[in-house]
Amino acid sequence: MEYKVMQVRVRQLPTVKVPDDFGEQISAAAAEGWQIDHVVPITAKGFVGGSYTDSMLVFLKRDAGGGQSS
């Protein structure tokens, strides 16, 4: 198995919003044989208290060899 990590910066106001091109990035990765393994939100403490999601780490995996058939 091969693994790679994508860091995705998000906006929080008023709700968490991923970048507009995130779907295209995931589709391009899927075309190369990558699958989402898991997603981890990265939270930070706010200036006024509470916390907010700053970014997400998207862990991808695929079979060694790029998922291409031999």
| Domain locations in the chain as residue ranges | 2-62
Helices and strands per DSSP (H, E), number in the chain: 1, 3
**Residue 9 confidence (pLDDT) above 60:** yes
- Taking Cα atoms as reference points, which of 54, 29, 33, 34 lies closest to residue 43? 54
**Residue 10 confidence (pLDDT) above 90:** no
User: pTM of this prediction?
Assistant: 0.73
Mean of pLDDT values over 29-41: 94
